[in-house]
């Protein structure tokens, strides 16, 4: 069953004659076993495989050197350092052989480094008969291996090793693709965090930047005009397969460090704001820090003023931390099944967990963590709840806060010409003057787009026209009572399904359709404006619809598909 015979021999090179302890494999099982699963090959040892013009190193634990020799022991070809799970063959190179002379080729496996160490070259002789006769003289050793058995050994080796090498190649290809995907996801996560740091930690800004960062993962583009279609494809492919969590600032961070004056200045519609402006100067102002948020008790921990609900200082609360889980779909045949079976076996998360859902849908969850310093005032969005000193405790989704309407101020540098803002909260009747302006009285009417339009369309339905007819009738009745409208602003909104390249024009087209209908029916006003906000001001976030797909996801996001009509009184 093992290697059949053992003989002493020598090889003569330019550096002299060198003794070798050669094992001869010339039976079916000895050739089949070879050096597979052996621990080592000693420096002066080797394995002779008779009538063998190609070899594989599957199941070997160390690299080898390889000689191809003829019946006289003359070296025809050398191959140095063949690593495990490789193949090699005699290519007819090295020594010139006359065409009418048929030369049988034999393989000699030696320890790695032997060829260079002994200076072996084509033309050198493995025991050519000038020394005492030995069993290693190939021409004098009749082979015990019949031609049919040699064929059988090669066929069995191919049947066993061929599929394994194929699987190994497929596995290597899939691992390479997965490694590249991980790099691309990490890059996209950084781009998302960077956009969030300059975009008031807004979750939709973060998501949009993340989607754009995935363009290289989906093949990239050659022309600018190809970006929009590719973003649409990415948006469709990633619906339900991306989860973005804002780990800092937390919900408790806003409880501790909210600045009411900035809420009014930025018109956040009740969303809380963590100040970033003048941060370095205000970190040492204890009285100003105590005035922020609902918790007015601060503790000095290693020269940092920390509040207990979040366990953070103001500087900590100005650090944006994201955890992004991306469901990557493996592409290589066979390996996808193997990868997913292994992940299902390895997974210990509950059935409702996002990672479990990705695995069950045939995707590999790739998790990226990224941390950046905020460059703007953080406005409350989809922030994780992590209560307690040191951010201990279980995370809890605080729900969906309203989205800010206005953009943050552009002036945020030390050379800024805007008036310097203080951290002191505003009290009733006090605070900085806004120039004496008064809020404009207006009424907002929000209409369900699923009633006004068919899904993905901008043509008014019969039910939609009936809704608008009632609004027009009410406005005319109010005019008869002395109420007038100076202007009407129509704002279209979509859900987050699809890319901005689709959603923005659709929301604008819907707003225009509503405005045109109001004009045609004599709505009592003389001035109209329209605006398409796409999916940038959702009522329901994607995280609130986590785990839902297809029709269920569309129904969950239905409140986002709306047309808001602002009636500004005259």
pLDDT tens sequence across 135-145:
444 444 444 44
In this predicted structure, the answer to whether residue 257 has a pLDDT above a threshold of 70 is yes
* % of the chain at pLDDT higher than 90: 21
* Per-residue pLDDT at 22: 85
Determine the Cα–Cα distance for residues 20 and 48; give it in Å rounded to an integer.
Answer: 11
* Per-residue pLDDT at 395: 45
Burial 519-536 (b: 16+ CB within 10 A, else e): eeeebbbeebebebbbbb
Instruction: Tell the burial category of 72 from Cβ atoms under 10 Å away from its Cβ (0-12, 13-18, 19+).
Output: middle
Question: pLDDT tier at 550 (50, 70, 90 boundaries)?
Answer: confident
Output the average pLDDT for the chain: 80
pLDDT in tens, 70-107: 888 888 999 988 998 888 888 874 444 444 455 678 89
Instruction: Specify the range with the lowest mean pLDDT, choosing from 91-105, 261-275, 319-333, 428-442.
Output: 428-442
- The most confident of the ranges 99-103, 466-470, 544-548 is 466-470
In this predicted structure, the answer to whether residue 418 has a pLDDT above a threshold of 70 is no
Determine the Cα–Cα distance for residues 185 and 192; give it in Å rounded to an integer.
Answer: 10
Question: pLDDT tier at 509 (50, 70, 90 boundaries)?
Answer: very high
**Would you call 321 helix, strand, or coil by DSSP?**
strand
Which residue is associated with the tokens 């605070």? Answer: 431
* Per-residue pLDDT at 322: 94
Rounded to 5 degrees, φ, ψ at 294 are -90, -15
| Mean pLDDT on 244-258 | 91
pLDDT in tens, 313-349: 888 999 999 999 999 988 888 888 888 888 888 888 8
Q: Please name each of the domains of the chain with its CATH number.
A: 5-145 (2.60.120.1140), 176-391 (no CATH), 442-569 (3.30.1330.60)
Determine the Cα–Cα distance for residues 231 and 133; give it in Å rounded to an integer.
Answer: 76
Identify which has the larger pLDDT, 83 or 439: 83
With a CB cutoff of 8 Å and minimum separation 6, the contacts of 504 are 532, 533, 534
Identify which has the larger pLDDT, 159 or 380: 380
Determine the Cα–Cα distance for residues 186 and 191; give it in Å rounded to an integer.
Answer: 9
In this predicted structure, the answer to whether residue 413 has a pLDDT above a threshold of 50 is no
Sign of the alpha-carbon torsion through 267, 567, 482, 464: negative
Rounded to a whole number of angstroms, the CA Rg of the chain reads 38
Identify which has the larger pLDDT, 27 or 180: 180
* Per-residue pLDDT at 319: 93
In this predicted structure, the answer to whether residue 545 has a pLDDT above a threshold of 80 is yes
In this predicted structure, the answer to whether residue 1 has a pLDDT above a threshold of 50 is no
With a CB cutoff of 8 Å and minimum separation 6, the contacts of 70 are 76, 97, 103, 104, 105, 106, 138
Identify which has the larger pLDDT, 234 or 171: 234
């Amino acid at each position: 069953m093992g290697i059949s015979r053992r003989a002493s021999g020598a090889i003569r090179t330019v550096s002299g004659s060198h003794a070798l302890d050669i094992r001869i494999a010339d039976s079916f099982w000895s050739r089949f076993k070879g050096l597979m699963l052996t621990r080592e090959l000693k420096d002066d040892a080797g394995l002779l495989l008779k009538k063998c013009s190609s070899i594989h190193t599957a199941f070997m634990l160390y690299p080898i050197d390889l000689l191809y020799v003829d019946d006289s022991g003359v070296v025809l070809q050398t191959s140095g350092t063949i690593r495990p799970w490789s193949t090699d063959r005699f290519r007819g190179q090295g020594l010139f052989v006359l065409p009418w002379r048929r030369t049988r080729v034999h393989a000699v496996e030696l320890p790695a480094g032997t060829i260079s160490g002994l200076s072996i070259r084509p033309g050198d002789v493995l025991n050519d008969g000038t020394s005492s006769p030995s069993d290693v003289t190939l021409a004098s050793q009749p082979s015990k291996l019949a031609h049919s058995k040699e064929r059988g050994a090669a066929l069995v080796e191919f049947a066993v090793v061929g599929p394994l090498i194929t699987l190994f190649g497929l596995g290597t290809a899939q691992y390479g693709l997965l490694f590249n995907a991980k790099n691309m996801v990490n890059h996209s996560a950084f781009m998302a965090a960077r956009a969030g740091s300059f975009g008031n930690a807004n979750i939709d800004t973060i998501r949009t930047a993340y989607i754009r960062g995935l363009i290289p993962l989906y093949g990239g583009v050659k022309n600018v005009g190809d970006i929009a279609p590719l973003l649409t494809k990415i948006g469709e492919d990633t619906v339900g397969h991306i989860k973005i969590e804002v780990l800092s600032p937390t919900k408790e961070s806003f409880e501790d460090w909210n600045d009411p004056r900035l809420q009014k200045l930025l018109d956040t519609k009740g969303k809380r704001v963590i100040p970033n402006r003048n941060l370095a100067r205000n970190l040492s102002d204890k009285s100003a820090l105590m005035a922020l948020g609902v918790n007015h008790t601060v503790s000095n921990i290693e020269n940092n003023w920390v509040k207990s609900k979040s366990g953070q200082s103001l500087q900590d609360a100005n650090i944006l931390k994201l955890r992004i889980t991306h469901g990557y779909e493996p592409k290589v045949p066979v390996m996808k099944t193997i990868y997913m079976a292994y992940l299902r076996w390895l997974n210990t998360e509950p059935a409702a967990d996002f990672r479990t859902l990705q695995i069950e849908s045939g995707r590999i969850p790739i998790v990226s963590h990224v941390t950046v310093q905020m460059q703007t005032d953080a406005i409350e969005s989809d922030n994780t709840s992590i209560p307690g000193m040191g951010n201990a405790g279980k995370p809890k989704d605080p729900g969906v806060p309203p989205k800010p309407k206005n953009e943050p101020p552009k002036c945020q540098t030390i050379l800024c010409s805007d008036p310097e803002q203080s951290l002191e909260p505003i009290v009733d009747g006090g605070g900085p003057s806004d120039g004496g302006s008064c809020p404009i009285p207006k009424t907002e009417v929000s209409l369900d787009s699923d009633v006004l339009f068919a899904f993905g369309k901008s043509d008014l339905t019969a039910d939609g026209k009936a809704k608008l007819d009632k609004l027009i009738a009410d406005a005319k009745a109010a005019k008869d009572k002395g109420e007038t409208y100076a202007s009407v602003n129509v704002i279209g909104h979509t859900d987050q399904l699809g890319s901005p390249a689709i959603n923005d024009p659709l929301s604008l087209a819907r707003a225009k359709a509503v405005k045109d209908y109001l004009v045609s029916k004599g709505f009592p006003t003389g001035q109209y404006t329209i605006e398409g906000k796409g999916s940038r001001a959702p009522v329901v976030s994607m995280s609130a619809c986590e785990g839902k797909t297809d029709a269920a996801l569309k129904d969950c996001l239905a409140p986002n598909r709306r047309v808001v009509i602002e009636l500004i009184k005259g």
